[in-house]
Structure 1
Amino acid sequence: MPTEQQPEAAVHNEKTPEIELEEDPVSYIPRYPSEHKDDIKDDLVGIETDPGSLEGGDVDDLEESIRLVPKIVRELVSMDDDPSLPTITFRYFVLSTIFSALGAVISQVSWFRTTAAPYSMFFVQIVSYWLGTLMARAIPSQEINLFGLCKFSLNPAPFSIKEHVLITITASSAASFNMGEVVVSVKDIFYEEKMHPLAAIWLMWATIWTGYSFAAIGRNFLLYDPDLVWPSALMQTALYRTLRGEGQSHDVSQKQMHVFWFVLAGVFFWSFLPEYAFPFTSSLAVLCWFAPHNDAVKYISSGLGGMGFLNFTLDWSNITSNIM
């Protein structure tokens, strides 16, 4: 028996160094600051993997893909993926079409105004989550045969986070004004030259595809490089996980949502009161208060009919306007 166990021990000792790479996976990393190596090791240890299914090359690939990711990304973005979650569903097409059309109209109309009406993607995230969850509960899981070409289910599964993300991405890409419209409008207003509708449509499409082409050229070092962090994307990711309560307890998620609703109420009143209920706060001409009958002072200080010197505003639409 001892002679039969020795080969097994030898084989175990030969495989052990490959798995022991997890003990200090970042000691050989020259480009990463030494003070962050402990954080990376903690994240690597926290990943649930089956040591028996990892060969030496797989362990190296795992470390290579994680060790370059900044800490803030590893804290906010989940490393888990469920391939079985639905993505392109009936809910996705309905909600993405609604939010894209709504955002495109608002953005295009606001382009011609000095005070634009913002179309926030956080609004799309929150409302699409509510509507998607409502559709998942109300719509029957009936299979539809589309002219004999394909079949799809109206409600294949609960509203997934992948559907939620795709709806927001589609809305953010489509719900924006088209720069080609500027050329069409300038020719019509200032030069009295009307473009053919088909030519105008092709011009706007060409503008969009040109922008996507330049974006594709720079995606290797702007999107795929893990060292480049996009704060707006991280904020949206944090909101996704907060709405679904992922990565934290229920109490913490509820507290975050309470803070969100308080902030939302404050922003609403701050935006509503100066515009409709208390327009006095839209233009605070301090110098005019002390000399209301002096024409020179009114010309210098007035924000509506003068130079606006020492003129302040509490109207958020003025603060975020295109002329500021």
Structure 2
Amino acid sequence: MSTAALGYVLGGRFDLVEVIGEGGTSTVYRAIDRIALWAREQNPEVAVKVIQPHSKMRPKLVQLLHGEARLLRDFVHQNLVRIYDSDYDGKYHYMVMELLKGRSLAQILADRQGQPLSPSVSFHIVNAAGQGLTHMHNLGIVHGDLKPGNIFMTSTGEIKIVDFGTVITLGGPPQCDRAKAVLDQIGLLTPAYASPEMLMGEPRAESDDVYSLAVVAYLALTGKHPYARWPADEALKANLRPAQSPIISSAQWRVLASGLALNRRDRIQTVGEFVQSLGRPPWFYRLFGQRMPMSG
């Protein structure tokens, strides 16, 4: 059984009209929702993620796909891509999502060929992604795989987090037995953006997403990975330290460096604190100091 061909009507409802993304385990299509079309809705287009049936990891991928949909289909937030449902039509397991038009942060950075984004754009992206993560954390969920490829900027400038294949409840173990051994094997864990604790299979915490978001922030502000793309557990063993960014204030650098800490105990613990502190202008610290209360 091959990947669904264009023109196939998935589940008797979704006309597959264009491939918009493809990886080793799944294909994402732009599709027309026939029910929405018949109801004369303004926008009948959706995105549909289809598990490639020939994948050796298909049983685990199917479990993750439907688990992701059941966990997140009731989550509504302006900075999270909307997941509508998942299903199986006898041939293909699939998930139906909001269709986004624009580019991923990975594509934006690749086009810049190592040149950083401006601080204002960087802070906008980090703050918006942080708002989405905070919403997830408030509902007891950790993302677990935040990276430039999973942050999307729409054509109207909105920021959306996409791809939730590794989400798990706070304090719970990774969905597979060992994060590094299994999630990486099926392409659902990205070692260059995962915290040391995730790579070592420890229970999830909000600070895991803080670390990933801090790596994204550093990359946006400098054009470089803070640890030269070394996995965090190896960077910890090698005692690596990220170079300070010259385009942000010393106080902001202390915030960013705390987010990048390779020991959880040294890291800012919540995404909310991280994005608020990082986004404060230099004059704030001059007037109030580094430890000004967050409220007010």
Indicate the TM-score class for this superposition, using the shorter chain for normalisation.
under 0.3
Q: Which has the higher helix share?
A: 1
Q: Which has the higher strand share?
A: 2
Which has the higher Rg, Structure 1 or Structure 2? Answer: 1
Q: What TM-score do the two structures reach when normalised by structure 1? A: 0.21
Q: What TM-score do the two structures reach when normalised by structure 2? A: 0.22
